[in-house]
Structure 1
Amino acid sequence: MIRNVIAVIVMSSILIGCSPTVKVQAPSEPININLNFKIDHEINIKVDKALDNIINKSGLY
């Protein structure tokens, strides 16, 4: 009985000594984020023929 208690104490101390450790450390170099992007757009306008004639006559375009 005492032998089992001693074995449990020894095993628990071994397991506690082997617990993993986690270190949180800032990087030594700054973090660089390179954002290269290109935006293309295209606008399509469809105009009715009658409306197109009115715009052409008034000189709005």
Structure 2
Amino acid sequence: MISTMALVMLAAVACTPTVKVEAPPEPITINLNIKLDAEVRLKIEEQAKDDITNNPGIF
């Protein structure tokens, strides 16, 4: 009886799936330069429009 239970437990443990969590070989890179660049350009354009409106003789 004991050997039968030992065999059943051994079979149950042997069939347990293995899950591995590994980091990717290369680091994950998130490039936000496009969004930041567009935001900076928009602010500069708005400031330029305000400057031209406030000082029409500049150009």
Higher helix share: 2
TM-score scaled by length of structure 1: 0.42
Larger C-alpha radius of gyration, 1 or 2?
1
TM-score scaled by length of structure 2: 0.43
